[in-house]
Amino acid sequence: MPKLTIADLQKIKEKYKADFTLREGGYTVKIIVHMGTCGIAAGARNIMTAVMEEIAKVNRNDIIVTTSGCAGLCAKEPLATIELANQPPVRYCDLTDEKIREIFREHVLGGKPVEKYALVSGCETTY
């Protein structure tokens, strides 16, 4: 490591921001991929991978991803729920790789829920 200056301290802090958003809270978007047995069988794993790739692409520090169990609607798996701060969470169903990427662009980045894929809006929040 080269000798640091005071400006470098701030740069290091910025660089690690994603890690500490995860540990300290302070995220603004939470994406939940439902990964019960039904979800996994229907391809939730691919949905998760797609989400992770999209986040990596935009390099945003304030988005977190978690998994949760079966939401009780096994026929409509894979499911994912997206929660933007101060907005009702939206649950999407029958997802595919393409659909989740579109949702990511429109809803997560653009702030507009994608109604055509939505199952329900305003389901139980986890905030």
Partner 1 sequence: MEKVRSHLMLCAGTGCVASGTTKVKAALEQELAKKGLTEEIKIVLTGCNGYCAEGPVMAVYPEEIFYQKVTVEEVPALVEEHFLKGRPYQKLMFREPEKKAAIPGMKDIPFFKHQVLRVLRNKGLIDPEKIEEYIARDGYQAAAKALTEMTPEEIIKTVKDSGLRGRGGAGFSTGLKWEFASKVTSDVKFMLCNGDEGDPGAFMDRSVMEADPHSVIEGMIIGAKAIGAHQGYIYVRAEYPLAVKRLRMAIDQATEAGLLGKNILGSGFDFELDIYLGAGAFVCGEETALMRSIEGKRGMPRPRPPFPAVKGLWDKPSVLNNVETLAQIAPIILNGSAWYRSLGTEKSAGTKVFALTGAVNNVGLVEVPMGIPLRTIIYDIGGGIKKGKKFKSVQLGGPSGGCIPEHLLDIPVTYEDIVATGAIVGSGGMVVMDDNTCMVGTAKFFLEFTADESCGKCTPCRVGTKILLDMLTDIAEGKGKEGDIATLEDLSRDIITTSLCGLGQTAPNPVLSTLRYFKHEYESHIHQKWCQAGVCRNLTTFWIDEKLCKACGACLRACPAKAVVGEKKVPHKIIQELCVHCRTCYDTCKFNSIRILPAGFEGDPHEFLSKTAVGAKEEK
Which chain residues interact with partner 1 by CB under 8 A? 1-6, 9, 12-13, 15-20, 22-25, 27, 30, 32-37, 40, 45, 48, 52-53, 55-56, 59, 64-69
CB of residue 120 to partner 1, shortest distance in Å:
19
CB of residue 98 to partner 1, shortest distance in Å:
19
CB of residue 27 to partner 1, shortest distance in Å:
7
Per-residue 3-state assignment (H helix, E strand, C coil) for the chain: CCCCCHHHHHHHHHHCHHHHHHHHCCCCEEEEEECCHHHHHHCHHHHHHHHHHHHHHHCCCCEEEEEECCCCCHHHCCCEEEEECCCCCEEECCCCHHHHHHHHHHHHHCCCCCHHHEEEECCCCCC
Q: Nearer Cβ to partner 1, position 6 or 116?
A: 6
Q: Nearer Cβ to partner 1, position 26 or 111?
A: 26
